[in-house]
Structure 1
Amino acid sequence: MRSILFALLFVISVHGTAFAGDLTISVRNAAGQPVRDAVVTVRPNAGVPSGPIRFSWPLRVVQQNVQFQPYVLIAPVGATVSFPNLDRVRHHVYSFSRGNRFEIELFGQDQTRSHTFTTAGVAALGCNIHDQMLAFVRVVDTPWAGKTDASGNVTIPAIPAGAASLRVWHPQLNVRGNETAYPVTIGAGAGRHTIAGDFSGRAAVR
Structure 2
Amino acid sequence: MLERASQLIAKCRFLLVLGALFSVSAFGNSINLVIKDQHGQVLPNAVVEIKHLPSSKVQSNLPTAVMDQVDKQFSPQLLIVRQGQYVNFPNSDNIRHHVYSFSKAKPFQLKLYSGQPEEPIKFDEQGVVVLGCNIHDSMVGYIYVANSNHVYTSNEQGQIELQVDSFPVQASIWHSLQTAPLDNKKMFDIESTNSLSITINTSTPAPRNTFGSQFREGNGQ
Tell me which interval the TM-score lies in, with the shorter structure as reference length: 0.7 to 0.9
RCO higher in 1 or 2 (8 Å CA, sep ≥ 6)?
1
Q: Give the corresponding residue for 1:4.
A: none
Alignment of 1:62-73 (within 5 A): 62-73=68-79
CA distance 1:63–1:171, shift in 2 (3 Å) = same
Greater fraction helix = 2
Whole-angstrom CA distance in 2 between matches of 1:48 and 1:101: 24
CA distance 1:183–1:150, shift in 2 (3 Å) = same
Q: 1:173–1:179: 8 Å Cα contact kept in structure 2? A: no
Deviation at 1:132, TM superposition (A): 0.7
Mind listing any 5+ residue stretches in structure 2 that lack a counterpart? Answer: 1-26, 206-211, 216-221
Q: Give the corresponding residue for 2:32.
A: 24
TM-score by length of 1: 0.75
CA distance 1:22–1:82, shift in 2 (3 Å) = farther
Aligned equivalent of 1:175, options 172, 176, 180: 180
Letter of the 1:25 partner, please give it. Answer: L
TM-score by length of 2: 0.70
Greater fraction strand = 1
Deviation at 1:51, TM superposition (A): 4.5
Whole-angstrom CA distance in 1 between matches of 2:175 and 2:43: 9
Q: Deviations over 1:103-154 (max 9, x none)?
A: 1112214x24521101011110001111010011111100110211222222
Mind listing any 5+ residue stretches in structure 1 that lack a counterpart? Answer: 1-18
Alignment of 1:67-146 (within 5 A): 67-109=73-115, 111-112=116-117, 113-146=119-152
SS at match of 1:192: coil
Letter of the 1:131 partner, please give it. Answer: D
Whole-angstrom CA distance in 2 between matches of 1:160 and 1:54: 26
Aligned-pair RMSD on alpha carbons? 2.7
Q: 1:145–1:156: 8 Å Cα contact kept in structure 2? A: no
Letter of the 2:177 partner, please give it. Answer: Q
Letter of the 1:42 partner, please give it. Answer: I
Count of equivalent residues? 180
- Say if 2:195 is the partner of 1:193: yes
Deviation at 1:83, TM superposition (A): 1.1
Q: 2:31–2:195: 8 Å Cα contact kept in structure 1? A: no
CA distance 1:25–1:141, shift in 2 (3 Å) = same
SS at match of 1:27: strand
CA distance 1:166–1:105, shift in 2 (3 Å) = same
CA distance 1:50–1:129, shift in 2 (3 Å) = same
